Amino acid sequence: MLDRRQPITITAAQAKIAALTLEPKVEAVATTAADRRVLAEPVTAPYDFPNFRRSGYDGYAIRAEDDHDFPKTFKVVAEIQAGATYDQPLKANETVRIMTGAAVPTNAGKVIMLEQSRPVAEHKDQVKLMVTAKNTNITETGTEFQRGDVLIPQNTRLNPGHLSLLSAFGITEVSVYQTPKVGIITTGTEVTTPGDPLKPGRIYNSNGPLLQGLVTECGGEVVAYTQIEDDYDLLRQKLNALVTTCDLILTTGGVSVGDFDFLATVAKSSQNLLFNKLKMRPGSVTTAFVYQETPIVALSGNPGACFTGFYLFAEPLLQQFTKQASQVRHVTAILDKPYQKTNGYDRILRGTFRISHDHYYVQLVGSDKSGALGNLGQTTCLFKIPSSNRPIEPFSEVETWLLPYR
């Protein structure tokens, strides 16, 4: 019997995905390997920073009490290189020659730059300082961070700047969310692995490499990748295996109403079917469900629909595993070129955008057909032509999704 499905809007479908409760998994990784990972707990300063009073310049450190009546001659009692310390207080009119980054003597009040010093003839242990400095030229302990300050908040995606901050405090390990493990199953007896001979009526698998790339680019780790023919038992067998190792499963094909659309069958029997029909084209049959506690986004086999469905539903879900907002930016744009076709469902077009006078402008790139794949490489945004029986007005405002990494 024909499968009658209840179509819902893109927004409603996204809300169902967002409402899934996912248990974040946490692991410790070396700071040096933590670039692009997401912090699972805030990192606080273990001590004040800088952790000692240090000189900002190469020059001479003097006491505040001696900071008057320049030019003035001082007795040079030591030379302090960065990394060394001078462990006694300065006495009256004593100075130490000090390098940038070195700890100043405890009672130093100022550092006078080397440029303001002159040697004293026949007195190698003396120096004449010409003028006093405007600033102390000393960086006080704790000027940047106090012990206990939050250095990096929880749920921050780390970048090299963060890694440098962690390293500045000697933090060698951080607690991060595990990279979501994703399994990909492409389905279809006609779908052939590139490299194998192409038999009549068959096509090469292009959605598989597409999804592998998109998952990796968006922060997931592809831990399993399989192509299977249309076979219900084989599909269940693969799904049962993947749920043991994957946090998320993405599939393509087999979600429509055809005799061999077995993903649709599995989804239908799920305890938690989120949706199996959307008021959108392409990808009206995009399906999402939970299979033995693992969420599955079953994307359409049509390449254009697979691409669109990934960004609208799979990418936001992928980000949820590391408590991140979707990287797909939702904006309003102005339609740059007329689009004449009408549709009973909202139509999502693959496009390119430009920015002019603080406005986004979008236009279709290549074909609007869900089976077309020639434009996937050029697409930088998706935009929505709302359902209507009249063509959209030129220069209308349209809902737009800007794609990350494009």
Ligand X SMILES: Nc1nc2c(c(=O)[nH]1)N[C@H]1C(S)=C(S)[C@@H](COP(=O)(O)OP(=O)(O)OC[C@H]3O[C@@H](n4cnc5c(N)ncnc54)[C@H](O)[C@@H]3O)O[C@H]1N2
Q: What are the residues binding ligand MOO (CB under 6 A)?
A: 281-285, 300, 302, 305, 370
CB neighbour burial string for 252-273, b if at least 16 within 10 angstroms, e if fewer: bbbbbeeebbbbbebbeebeeb
Decide: is 183 part of the binding site for ligand X (CB under 6 A). Answer: no
Return the number of the residue (129 or 185) whose C-beta is nearest ligand X: 185
Based on the shown chain and the rule CB under 6 A, indicate whether residue 151 belongs to the binding site for ligand X: no
Closest residue to ligand X in the complex (CB): 301
Contact 30, 173 (CB under 8 A): yes
Cα separation, 55 vs 178, whole angstroms = 42
- If contact means CB under 5 to 8 A according to the sort of partner, which of ligand X, ligand MOO, none does residue 219 touch? none
Nearest distance in Å: CB 343, ligand X: 11
Supply φ then ψ for residue 249, to 5 degrees. -120, 135
Element (H, E) at 29: strand 26-30
- Cβ nearer to ligand X, comparing 170 with 201: 201
223 exposure class (CB count in 10 Å sphere: 0-12, 13-18, 19+)? middle
Among 305, 312, 392, 403, binds ligand X (CB under 6 A): 305
Min separation Cβ 221 and ligand MOO, Å: 28
Q: How far is the CB of 362 from ligand MOO (least distance, A)?
A: 20
Smallest gap from residue 283 Cβ to ligand MOO (A): 5
| Binding flags for ligand X, 204-243, as an x/- string (CB under 6 A) | -xxxx-----------------------------------
Query: In the numeric block, which tokens belong to residue 20?
Result: 């899934």
Residue 9, both tokens: 């809007």
Residue 285 is a binding residue for ligand X (CB under 6 A): yes
Stretch that binds ligand X, among 108-116, 182-190, 307-315, 385-393 (CB under 6 A): 182-190
- Residue 256 interacts with ligand X (CB under 6 A): yes or no: yes
Task: Choose between 179 and 251: whose C-beta lies nearer to ligand X.
Answer: 251
**CB 228, min distance to ligand MOO, A:** 21
Q: List binders of ligand X among 344-403 (CB under 6 A).
A: 370-371
Local structure of 317: helix, strand or coil:
helix
Residue 319 binds to ligand X (criterion: CB under 6 A):
no
Nearer to ligand X, 72 or 281 (CB): 281
**Both tokens assigned to 315:** 């990418």
User: Alpha-carbon distance 208 to 186, whole Å?
Assistant: 6
Pairing outcome for strands 117-120 and 123-129: antiparallel
The site map against ligand X for 152-181 (x = CB under 6 A) is: ------------------------------
Question: Least separation, in Å, of the C-beta of 373 and ligand X?
Answer: 7
The only residue of 59, 105, 219, 254 in contact with ligand X, by rule CB under 6 A: 254
Q: What one-character DSSP code corresponds to residue 403?
A: P
The amino acid occupying position 227 is Q
SS3 of residue 45 by DSSP: coil
Q: Please say which residue, 184 or 364, places its beta carbon nearer to ligand X.
A: 184
Select from 110, 102, 129, 108 the least CA-distant residue to 118: 129
- Distances from the Cα of 80 to the Cαs of 45, 60, 113, 171, 191, in angstroms? 28, 10, 14, 27, 72
Alpha-carbon distance of 171 to 219, in angstroms, equals: 24
Residues that bind ligand X (CB under 6 A): 186, 188, 190-191, 203, 205-208, 252-258, 261, 282-285, 300-303, 305, 370-371
